[in-house]
Structure 1
Amino acid sequence: MKPVFANSAFVTVPERLFLCGGTWRRVPLKVRYGVFRHPAAGPVLIDTGYGPSVTRGPRGLALRLYNAILGPDLVAAGQPEAVLQRLGLKPGDVGTIIVTHFHADHVAGLHLFPKARIVAKADVLRKILKQPAHKNLHQGIFRDLLPVDLASRVDDVDGVGLREAPLGLGGGHDLFGDGSVLAIDLPGHAEGHFGLCFANLPTPLLYAVDAQWCAEALEEGRRPGFPASLIADDPQALAESTRRVLAFRQAGGEVLLCHDPAESRYDLAAEAP
């Protein structure tokens, strides 16, 4: 059961923003989301990437400003409907979406899947739905992008039993009860942020999502500081999560990050920015 990852958009930023010692050259970062077919659960999405709900159409002022600042360049062939069609699927075939955290570039396509169950941190979602809008905005979260019935469709990650992940990664929530996909808490980037370990692959894969923005930034001395640290929910926790991800890679595992500009063997054919 091998996941594949599509690129929903490019966000172009100076290299030194996400890599210590980087230059001022502008680098197009990817905005990945994943798809895999589980033998029992069927087609499953990992997040949904960026979509038109962020870049155009009716939106609140805060979301319009967010789009104006980041300027995501959507990849038409990388949008969920196009990717699913390429894989011989349609949105209605997706019964489960794993939401690693609630930032805009991970939830912008949730409205395309009104029947899907959402595997996520239920406590974090409850907090988002209760707290004032300005607190959500400070954390990079936009209620505009969350379906109104989302809470009723959530299966809580923390309610799933633990299983030991390979290569010293620690315990992970066994999402399907068969050891194939383990949700690994990687705090620091956002509240409730977690990655996914595909433990049964010949070389275990950790999709570490936003533990860092590129693989080089996992290394000591290349991890970005200010101003990138301003984006982190908890910089100390992020440093520890980064250390764990690097240790997993050094032990022989593969690591994939959401925004890494480098090509991965798990990526669908990329579109040029």
Structure 2
Amino acid sequence: MPERLIVRGGKWQSSGLWVRYGLIIHPTMGAVLIDTGYTFHCTRANERSIGLRAYNAILRPELIDAGQPNAFLARFNLAPRDINYVIITHFHADHISGLSLFTKARFVACEHAWETVCKASYFGNLRHGIFPELVPKDFKDRFQPLSGKPTVETELGINAKDIFADQKILALPLPGHAIGHFGVILRMPEKSVLYAVDTQWLFAALPDKNHPGFPSRFIASNKNHLSISSRVVERFRDNGLGDVVLSHDPVQTPYDIIDVEKNT
């Protein structure tokens, strides 16, 4: 999409966006995913609704086979059945479209976000890029709400949820982009990393003066909260608390697994 639509003052030329998801090998919980990325369930499944087909037609994502969960996990000698947990940062289609692959995983997400998805009308969900058809039918049976996790204070002075009660993976509230949207702080021995997900789509859009207007802000659940969350992410980065990764910024990070053949 044109860069100017996702960062104020950007160019009118098209800017390609990535869709990241993450794999963590936890010392006691095993293989954990953060989101599932944008999968072929959105682009090729025959049973897709008209709304999902339209969503895909508008975005026209270019999916790479090597970046799909099955192929990606195979690089680590894993399969979808080996994933024990999927941490769902929010319920937009490009973050949950592969949930049905993970038949044995427990799902960790914001309870309010899930309840909102359940209560909203089809068109209410559609307006925010949410398609309940992508959620497994037994989601409720495998759901672990963040509200039930211990609370810890982060380096930012903001409370987060300690997902596995060991202070290694923290769910940091970053509201604004979507209801219940949160980032993930990974506390590794060498440094911490904040996966700030969709707080903004580009790093260039984080400063107040560069926050995009319509249509990007139309998608946001709360534009005022979005501004506050952007400043939180900037503070984490600028105060040297660790690295920051955004879901869609196309600049390569040290945490990306690159497909050599496609260079993406």
Shared fold (TM-score greater than 0.5)? yes
How far did 1:169 drift? 5.1
The match for 2:105 is 116
Structure 1 position 144 matched with structure 2 position 127: no
The Cα offsets for residues 31-80 of structure 1, whole Å up to 9 and x where unpaired, read as 00000100010000000001111112221000000001001111110001
The number of equivalent residue pairs is 260
**What amino acid is the match of 1:185?**
P
The match for 2:3 is 15
Asked whether the 8 Å contact 1:206–1:256 carries over to 2, the reply is yes
The match for 1:267 is 256
Selected match of 1:61 from 31, 50, 55: 50
Q: Distance in 1 between matches of 2:189 and 2:172?
A: 16
Asked whether the 8 Å contact 2:80–2:103 carries over to 1, the reply is no
The match for 1:127 is 116
Helix, strand or coil: the match of 2:129?
coil
Percent of aligned pairs with the same residue?
Answer: 45
Q: Distance in 2 between matches of 1:227 and 1:99?
A: 24
Q: Which moved more, 1:93-102 or 1:213-222?
A: 213-222
RMSD: 1.3
Q: Distance in 1 between matches of 2:117 and 2:211?
A: 29
Q: Distance in 2 between matches of 1:127 and 1:236?
A: 20
Q: Distance in 1 between matches of 2:253 and 2:3?
A: 19
Q: Which moved more, 1:218-227 or 1:143-152?
A: 218-227
The match for 1:219 is 207
Instruction: Please report the TM-score for the alignment, with normalisation by the length of structure 1.
Output: 0.92
The match for 2:172 is 184
The Cα offsets for residues 132-185 of structure 1, whole Å up to 9 and x where unpaired, read as 21111122110111111111111011211111222x252110111111111001
The match for 1:4 is none
**What amino acid is the match of 1:192?**
G
Q: 1:1-273 counterparts in 2 under 5 A?
A: 13-57=1-45, 58-166=47-155, 168=156, 170-252=158-240, 253-270=242-259, 271-272=262-263
The Cα offsets for residues 224-270 of structure 1, whole Å up to 9 and x where unpaired, read as 12221111110000000001110111110211000011000000014
Q: Distance in 2 between matches of 1:241 and 1:96?
A: 26
